[in-house]
């Protein structure tokens, strides 16, 4: 809209005075929604073509409108388009410029259309594209993790619970856990995309249109599966954006978990991995420092993404049907969330490809904290037919003895083990090494290298 009361204003006939400067400041959204320009032009082209096909406007006017929209696209791509705050939003900026370029025919484009269904279709198109882009980025990250997991399928490391050494696992197995997580993330974005793929164009302001429009045609032209079935819902629904943000929040949480592990693994106390200069920074005062700032910033992006979901949820809470201007605030959190997620995914994919594991350090840590204690208990059950709870008790005594002596379980003598359970034989030592422990976990999805390679092969096929 313009800030004047002349007939060029979207509501110039009704108002006789211009808005206050404060009203302009709170109402104008062009600095945010200009990002929807490509979607706005696509929707306008589909709408103009449909109007002409239905005989609502002439073919000549439709051709003129199309020519003008093409010129506008060229101007925007070339950085020459005059985005103006007096026209409030991207829709009115395009319409005003179209009128300047092609004259009265431009006024026919808004026939059987409202800004309410116009912004709804533009926003759906943008969020749909964001979901597609994010799925592609997740697949790239999964492929990077797969490549690294394949290299490290036999690399031992400690598996943790409560961040305490629990049982030996392989580094490849650990990385494959994130392949699974990010696979579910991609599925969530895909599910959200499926549900949002309905076109609100043609719902008009809230009640539909009296013109003989063809909503199926515009839906097809814009790549939607079908038109939305209720005009009120069409212009007032933003759950498609909320669902995308929910998927983004979960995904950001998974990225944050991996980022946290990278930060921990890089500490001198762990020393499991190194990152190159490409993904680290130094200190202004401590010359020895090499900080995993890329991982820390990925971890921090979670706050932005999750905050965006809360922000949009709060905007939408309690709004009556149909459209309210509150919904102008739907786009900033969505844009910010996907910007943050886009950068975090790119950074994490780069770090996974960049990191170098210290295999010797990881293998040494894999045997710390009596990590093969469960293997001893399982051996007692398998070989001596001991009830597991009894085996658990014997193993606990073995751990206590090793702790008192300052040794590992595999360094206890046979006589010392037999003092705890007379039936133990020297065959028990075959299960007390970290390598034997990891290699024995042959159940589906287990950490044994052959199981890890089987899952890598499965995911390679899924991602092919």
User: How far, in Å, CA of 462 to CA of 464, rounded?
Assistant: 6
Catalytic residue among 7, 16, 162, 284: 162
User: How far, in Å, CA of 30 to CA of 86, rounded?
Assistant: 9
User: How far, in Å, CA of 290 to CA of 124, rounded?
Assistant: 43
Question: Quick one: how far is CA 443 from the chain centroid?
Answer: 31
What is the torsional sign of CA 223, 229, 234, 240?
A: negative
The answer to whether residues 97 and 80 touch, using CB atoms and an 8 Å cutoff, is no
Radius of gyration of the chain (CA): 31
Residue 113: helix, strand or coil by DSSP?
Answer: coil
User: How far, in Å, CA of 182 to CA of 177, rounded?
Assistant: 9
End-to-end CA distance of the chain: 49
Catalytic residue among 283, 324, 368, 430: 283
Question: Which residue in 334, 128, 381, 350 sits closest to 258, CA to CA?
Answer: 350
- Give Dmax over CA atoms of the chain in angstroms: 101
Does residue 283 have an active-site annotation?
A: yes
User: How far, in Å, CA of 105 to CA of 97, rounded?
Assistant: 12
Question: Quick one: how far is CA 306 from the chain centroid?
Answer: 11
Does residue 16 have an active-site annotation?
A: no
Residues involved in catalysis:
162, 283
């Amino acid at each position: 809209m313009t800030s004047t009361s002349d007939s060029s204003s979207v509501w110039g006939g009704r108002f006789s005075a211009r808005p206050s400067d404060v009203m302009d400041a709170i109402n104008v959204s062009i600095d945010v929604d200009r990002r929807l320009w490509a979607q706005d032009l696509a929707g306008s082209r589909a709408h103009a073509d449909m109007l002409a096909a239905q005989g609502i406007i002439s073919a000549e006017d439709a051709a003129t409108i199309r020519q003008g929209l093409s010129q506008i696209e060229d101007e925007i791509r070339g950085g020459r388009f005059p985005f103006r705050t007096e026209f409030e939003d991207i829709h009115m900026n395009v319409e005003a410029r179209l009128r300047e370029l092609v004259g009265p025919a431009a006024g026919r484009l808004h026939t059987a259309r409202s800004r309410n269904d116009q912004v709804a279709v533009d926003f759906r198109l943008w969020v749909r594209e964001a979901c597609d882009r994010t799925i592609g980025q997740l697949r790239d990250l999964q492929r990077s993790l797969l490549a690294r997991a394949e290299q490290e399928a036999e690399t031992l490391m400690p598996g943790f619970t409560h961040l305490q050494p629990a049982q030996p696992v392989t580094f490849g197995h650990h990385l494959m856990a994130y392949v699974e997580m990010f696979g579910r993330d991609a599925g969530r974005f895909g599910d959200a995309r499926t549900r949002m793929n309905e076109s609100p164009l043609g719902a008009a302001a809230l009640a539909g249109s009296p013109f003989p429009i063809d909503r199926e045609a515009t839906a097809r032209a814009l790549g939607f599966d079908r038109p939305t079935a209720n005009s009120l819902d069409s212009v007032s629904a933003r759950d498609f954006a909320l669902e995308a943000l929910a998927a983004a929040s979960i995904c950001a949480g998974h990225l944050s978990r991996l980022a946290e592990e990278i930060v921990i693994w890089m500490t001198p106390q762990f020393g499991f991995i190194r990152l190159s200069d490409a993904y680290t920074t130094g200190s202004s005062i401590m010359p020895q420092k090499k900080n995993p700032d890329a991982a820390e910033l990925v971890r921090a992006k979670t706050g932005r993404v999750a905050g965006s979901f809360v922000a949009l949820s709060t905007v939408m809470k309690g709004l009556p049907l149909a459209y309210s201007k509150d919904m102008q605030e739907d786009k900033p959190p969505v844009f910010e969330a996907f910007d943050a997620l886009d950068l975090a995914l790119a950074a994490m994919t780069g770090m996974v490809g960049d990191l170098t594991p210290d295999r010797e350090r990881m293998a040494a840590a894999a045997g710390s904290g009596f990590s093969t204690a469960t293997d001893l208990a399982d051996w007692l059950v398998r070989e001596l037919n001991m009830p597991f709870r009894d085996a658990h008790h014997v193993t606990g005594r073995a751990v206590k003895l090793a702790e008192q002596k300052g040794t590992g379980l595999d360094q206890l003598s046979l006589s010392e083990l037999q003092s705890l359970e007379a039936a133990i034989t020297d065959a028990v030592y075959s299960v007390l090494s970290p390598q034997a422990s990891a290699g024995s976990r042959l159940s589906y999805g287990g950490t044994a290298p052959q199981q890890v390679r089987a899952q890598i092969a499965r995911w390679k096929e899924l991602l092919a």
